[in-house]
Amino acid sequence: MGRYLVRRVALAILVVVGVVVLTFVIARVVPGDPAVSWAGPHASREQIANVRHELGLDRSLPVQIVSYFGGVVRGDWGTSIHTHQPVLSDIMDRAPASIELVVTAMVFALTLAIPLGLVSARWSGRAPDGVIRIGAVLSVSMPAFWLALILQLVFFQRLHLLPVAGQYDPNLDYTHPLTQYTRMPAVDALITGNWVVFRSALSHLVLPAIVIASYPLGVVTRMVRASELDSLGEDHVRAVRALGFSERSVFARFALKPALVPVVSVIALVFAYSLVNTFLVESIFDWPGLGSYAADSISSLDTPAIVGVTLFIAIVYVLANLVVDLVQAWIDPRIAIA
């Protein structure tokens, strides 16, 4: 298990380095000068030349990459051309909001998807299965922006039940000021016992979390169903059946555990997908996450920010996969040996 872990971590680092080099080179090869964006709309030639020098853009590409990696190791991810702030601090300011949203959505999706998948497999071919399968296809194929707008229209505009946008009611800043620790309002409010803000933060989370949960919900439901049905046909399941275990026990214990291995790897994939999917949803729900930051940095050719966001997502992606590999190895020891 130890050697397996070392090998996986080494591979993860290689993947991250590769992604950064690739992004860096592509962002620099694109025509246009990032110093132009930094210096402002009507800047003079002299100002732009000064900026080029200050940002180190007048050095050769390999020198820039090496110095960038040196910085990354020291915690200096460069300075954003768009916000004029350190990229790492920009990302740390915005990532918690995205992570709060995706994690809520994933928890929401999984607590529904696993039981639904099992119900579907248990009564395969019958009415509940049919309903769940149609629901799963719908939730996978529904475009996020469309679902978001419909939910806003129904729950905000028509029913006045849920807020339209933001993380919590900004007027509460005057009446119930929130102390920030994690930059996730729901978590901060919970830690500090600020229940008014907590309730407001939860109500603001519901709609965007449902939109993001839609895709993983459908995928995981279908995966659980298929995987459980496969597993039910395996020899070991027939063996425990023959031994006289109850159908419920066969279903939820002996068939479920091996069925979870492929499900876990799908979960890692949809997690990474959801993190990127969040970008669009964030902009619709005015959620101050990485999405708008990434969009702004792309339109202003903000290389340090583009590379920074890519690096961050690559790290999250690789970490998620690493965790999945370890969980799989834990569920099924045969994987580590292989």
Q: Which parts of this chain interact with other proteins (CB under 8 A)?
A: 30-34, 36-37, 39-47, 82-85, 90, 93-94, 107-108, 111-112, 114-115, 149, 152, 156-157, 160-167, 169-171, 173-174, 199-200, 202-203, 205-206, 252, 283-288, 292-293, 296, 299-301
DSSP three-state, residue 60: coil
Integer Cα distance of 1 and 329 in angstroms: 8
Burial class of residue 240 (count of CB atoms within 10 Å of its CB; 0-12, 13-18, 19+):
middle
Q: Min. distance of Cβ 199 from other proteins in angstroms?
A: 4
Integer Cα distance of 107 and 99 in angstroms: 12
46 alpha-carbon distance from chain centroid: 42
Residue 120 has which token pair? 């579907």
- Smaller CB separation from other proteins, 215 or 321: 215
Q: Min. distance of Cβ 262 from other proteins in angstroms?
A: 18
Task: Indicate the residue type of 92.
Answer: M
Q: Min. distance of Cβ 147 from other proteins in angstroms?
A: 14
- Please report which helix (H) or strand (E) contains residue 156, including its range: none
Q: Min. distance of Cβ 27 from other proteins in angstroms?
A: 12
Question: CB under 8 Å to 288, separation ≥6 — which residues?
Answer: 94, 97, 167, 282
Integer Cα distance of 101 and 206 in angstroms: 9
- Smaller CB separation from other proteins, 16 or 197: 197
Task: Indicate the residue type of 173.
Answer: D
- Smaller CB separation from other proteins, 284 or 318: 284
Please give the backbone phi and psi of residue 161, each rounded to the nearest 5 degrees, phi first.
-100, -35
Contact at 8 Å (CB) between 71 and 77?
yes
Q: Min. distance of Cβ 291 from other proteins in angstroms?
A: 9
- Smaller CB separation from other proteins, 97 or 314: 97
Contact at 8 Å (CB) between 144 and 212?
yes
Count Cα neighbours of 320 within 13 Å in the Cβ-side half-sphere.
22
Q: Min. distance of Cβ 83 from other proteins in angstroms?
A: 6
- Smaller CB separation from other proteins, 18 or 54: 54
- Smaller CB separation from other proteins, 142 or 162: 162
DSSP three-state, residue 303: helix
Q: Min. distance of Cβ 295 from other proteins in angstroms?
A: 8
Q: Min. distance of Cβ 18 from other proteins in angstroms?
A: 26
CA distances from 169 to 190, 257, 291, 337 (A): 16, 43, 21, 52
Phi-psi region of 166 (alpha: psi -120 to 50; beta: other; left: phi over 0): left
